[in-house]
Structure 1
Amino acid sequence: MQQFIQGLVQALEPQAIVYLLVGTFSGLLIGTLPGLTATMAIAILTPLTFWLSPNQGLAMLVGVWNSAIFSGGISAILINTPGTPASIASTFDGYSLTKKGLSGLALGINVVFSAFGGIMGVLALILIGFPLARFALSFGPAEYFSLAIFGLSTMVAVSGKSIFKGILAGFLGFSISLVGLDPIFGSERFTFGRMELLNGISFIPMMIGLFGIGEVFYQVYMSKKTYENDQNATKQLGRVIPTLKEMKSVTPVALLSSIIGIIIGAIPGAGADIAGLVAWDQSKKIAKKPEEYGNGSLEGLTASTTANNACLGGALTTMMALGIPGDAVTAVLIGAFIMYGVQPGPVMFRDRADFVYMVVILMILANIAFLAVGFFASKALTKFLSLPQSFVWTTIIILSLIGTYAINNSSFDLILVFIAGIIGFVFRLIDVPLGPIVLALILGPMAEANMRRALILSGGNAFIFLRRPISLTLLVLSVISLLGSVARKKKV
């Protein structure tokens, strides 16, 4: 109880609330503008929170994350272009409602059920996080190795159209993670005599380069707008707040989509875009009028907007309880946690329960914040859909460079961020996914270190991974996950 009160006090600190609101409004703008993703925003802003206390910094990042996922639906509804990948499924029915003159109602549904899904996801974190962490405290090196392998097995699922390209990207990420000191013997590896590389390749500059600088390079290279204004976006939106009857009619779909979003969010390597698509498809299968889906169905829009926000709670549960990123954003948040001196994983729930409670409360407050301003913001943010891209590009590059340098005051990190930016740009050109790189950077060191520890404890006997029930179960699940992903991609 004392730890809960400590977490509550930290979350409700006036300065933390101010930064939460700053993050919320920043996320609203970032999510609305197509081409800017929540991952990019978190990657760029994380080092900028270096000067803040952990509760203030996380308040800002949590605010950005939640509101960016919600506001991605604004451009999806108004101009048929998702502001973030999480809102892809929202274009199916959202834009059809706009063409019918119901854009205000569609925006209102997006506000209400994005907040509903987000809060449901946080409740899942509360109910599942602590039991899962207590269970994970019994893990030894063998179990942690198998857990990392299970996370890496989702590499195929996030490989886009080409499994080969995804695996290639994963190997690149794993190779980068080997740079630095050997985790067991402390000997130098691939440092080439550079003192800056003794601690390995810094994770935050890599993320900023891949998702920030690389995206800017790509958009500049394409030399065209990633979105076009639509006359419907500036028309009178009409009624924004849904009636009680309308909300009641779509509530069953919202509950189902929340469950789907939470489950998919908890799966390492999945994300809000997948959650939205799956929820839309599953709700269509049980709908009384499935023919309306894709043609302006309120249920269809509700399914996608609820699931992609509920996914956040599921992803955060996996990240905080097990130390495995549920999606790209939580992968970057791991870096933020470490920057604040907290290592995600089961030990955090035992030794820093106050920190966990603080994050949970901040998540709830972030959903309440964008719910409170969402109706007004949905109307106001239509003006930003015509913001010049050159302004956006310049802002991103400036923030990226400032944030990168701020972490270690190192000019070497600026070199890293540009190298990562070039890699991200080239990979986008040749359609190589960035998700596997993120997974390998996070889970590669975890897999290597625990595999070697387990082998040392067993005297070199590799069967230790099969003799321990939890380890064996995780390895079997890894095989099932890998084969299932391959089979699905072959069908496609």
Structure 2
Amino acid sequence: MDLINNLALGFQAAATFQNMFYALMGAVLGTLIGVLPGLGPVATIAMLLPSIYALDATPALIMLAGIYYGAQYGGSTTAILINVPGEASSVVTALDGYQMARRGRAGAALAAAGLGSFFAGCVGTLVIAAFAPPLTELAFQFGPAEYFSLMVLGLIGAVVLASGSLLKAISMIILGLLLGQINTDVISGVPRFSFDIPELTDGIGFVTIAMGVFGFGEIISNLSRPAEQREVFTKDVKGLMPTKQDVKDAFPAVLRGTALGSILGVLPGGGALLASFAAYTVEKKSKGRAGEVPFGQGNIRGVAGPEAANNAGAQTSFIPMLTLGIPPNAVMALMVGAMTIKGIQPGPQVMSSNPELFWGLIASMWIGNLLLVILNLPMIGIWIRLLTVPYRFLFPAILTFCCIGLYTLNNNNFDVYMAVIFGFIGYLFYKLDCEPAPLLLGFILGPMMEENLRRALLLSRGDWTTFMSRPLSAGLLIAAALMIVVVMLPSIKNKREEAFQDAD
């Protein structure tokens, strides 16, 4: 009963004209930011922080939250249309979404991503309302050792993501981990592997690698093909909305992705990102119907599952921020900053001292998700029109678009040059038939793994048994070891190779 009363209070606060307007503003801005590669929600919210001084706390936080989950929608658009993930969590969406676009099914892919995201966003918001306190208790059980073990499990799970050779998949993850080491040491503050290049002391940007390997690499590989094979998108667009069969295939994937995202989103350090990779792995392991399109060639489950997972994760990542004042990612850290600017102390007392703000923000997420669907579904036709542009005009536009996005990261040409280098590396991967997604996961998780490994060892005074003496950490490492054993079993290995041969 309390939950109903609280939500009624929230909708009363969120449904005012002013708050609805700022929810719409946030949703529109977020979508645009997601579509523009390079300009992520972190940079945008940071730029907009000074503007919230003139606003009340509730509309200010509603707008910033709208930017965050709006960017999750927008990021999938460029991932599907031009193979450039606008957001880190859209990397997985590009694997099958882009192949659907090439088959003339971009409309179905965009609709599956949009509707899957809407459903997951609504469920994620309900999870915040109902389970915030117990889920926060679960997050408290995770120390540095547990995070390290969870990330080891995530990386081993990523091997399943890659098509073809297991050796290539492992090599790509190791290369990603090594690239993640180019930065300044977290504990000693000493730059490493930067070769005295000042720009490398902060590390290579994720956007630089993603845009280079996916965007530029795809352009180079397209230009290497004969002109008649160069058109990225087919002219015979087969309907803008998913078919009945698509809905039957995608709905279970959306449910699984939503469940995974709701749980993993609570965890600090990229829960929504881990959720999208985990959802894709689960979909590849789940039994599909006979005759469905293989993964990596345009399977709608490979779009719907990860998109639902990253949106559910984006919503539930508000739980530790709202209930504990602990930001689980960079965007939530900025939200904590925004609350502090407005004179609100983030933490457990927000629920009791500012109930209108707390429940108004939660109710605004439902309104924001509905606005995003209303905004995005009619725009599918506009995006599809873009696909009929001949490739000789399209690729210079994509290049310009990417270079502007890269330059705005740090107002520095260096990021553009680095992306060009990674473009050629991406082309090399294409030629060697290596899947770049595990490299990106290794690159993102590498520094986080190292930080948690060193923290765990500092806390245990160098005792490596800490990873096995803590039950949750031991369970995750045992699951990772079992996954290796299962993948290496001859019968499983042969089936996996057969599956990927079928996909080719």
TM-score (norm 2): 0.65
Change (3 A) 1:366 1:385: farther
Q: Secondary structure at the match of 2:162?
A: coil
How far off its partner does 1:156 sit? Answer: 0.9
How far off its partner does 1:457 sit? Answer: 3.1
Range that drifts further, 17-26 or 352-361? 352-361
Q: Which residue of 1 aligns with 2:425?
A: 423
Q: Which residue of 1 aligns with 2:24?
A: 17
Change (3 A) 1:113 1:153: closer
Unaligned runs of 5+ in 2: 1-5, 50-60, 83-92, 265-273, 294-298, 322-327, 338-345, 497-504
Change (3 A) 1:45 1:452: closer
Contact 1:177/1:441 (8 A) holds in 2 = yes
Contact 1:115/1:309 (8 A) holds in 2 = no
Change (3 A) 1:120 1:200: same
CA offsets, 1:378-410, max 9 Å, x none?
556553441233443233322322222222222
Q: Which residue of 1 aligns with 2:162?
A: 159
Unaligned runs of 5+ in 1: 31-40, 76-82, 96-102, 285-289, 296-300, 324-332, 343-347
How far off its partner does 1:174 sit? Answer: 1.0
How far off its partner does 1:420 sit? Answer: 2.4
Task: Give, in whole Å, the separation in 1 of the partners of 2:77 and 2:180.
Answer: 33
Q: Does 1:227 align with 2:227?
A: no
Q: AA paired with 2:179?
A: I
Task: Give, in whole Å, the separation in 2 of the partners of 1:138 and 1:378.
Answer: 43
Change (3 A) 1:194 1:397: same
Q: Which residue of 1 aligns with 2:258?
A: 262
Provide the aligned length of Structure 1 versus Structure 2: 427
How far off its partner does 1:141 sit? Answer: 2.6
Q: Which residue of 2 aligns with 1:63?
A: 70
Q: Secondary structure at the match of 1:168?
A: helix
What is the percent sequence identity of the aligned residues?
24
Change (3 A) 1:140 1:308: closer
CA offsets, 1:247-271, max 9 Å, x none?
xx99998875543232455565636
Q: Which residue of 1 aligns with 2:343?
A: none
Task: Give, in whole Å, the separation in 1 of the partners of 2:250 and 2:347.
Answer: 30
Q: Which residue of 2 aligns with 1:439?
A: 441
CA RMSD between the two structures: 5.2
Contact 2:208/2:419 (8 A) holds in 1 = yes
TM-score (norm 1): 0.66
Contact 1:269/1:439 (8 A) holds in 2 = no
How far off its partner does 1:360 sit? Answer: 6.5
Q: Which residue of 2 aligns with 1:198?
A: 201
Q: AA paired with 2:426?
A: G
Q: AA paired with 2:211?
A: I
Q: Secondary structure at the match of 2:235?
A: coil
How far off its partner does 1:175 sit? Answer: 0.9
Q: AA paired with 1:62?
A: Y
Correspondence for 2:461 among 436, 442, 459: 459
Q: Which residue of 1 aligns with 2:495?
A: 491
How far off its partner does 1:168 sit? Answer: 0.9
Change (3 A) 1:337 1:486: farther
Q: Does 1:474 align with 2:470?
A: no
Task: Give, in whole Å, the separation in 2 of the partners of 1:423 and 1:356.
Answer: 47
Q: Which residue of 2 aligns with 1:33?
A: none
Q: AA paired with 2:72?
A: W
Correspondence for 2:189 among 186, 190, 213: 186
Task: Give, in whole Å, the separation in 2 of the partners of 1:304 and 1:232.
Answer: 19
Q: AA paired with 1:170?
A: I
Task: Give, in whole Å, the separation in 2 of the partners of 1:107 and 1:206.
Answer: 24
Task: Give, in whole Å, the separation in 2 of the partners of 1:158 and 1:336.
Answer: 27
Q: AA paired with 1:310?
A: A
Task: Give, in whole Å, the separation in 1 of the partners of 2:397 and 2:113.
Answer: 28
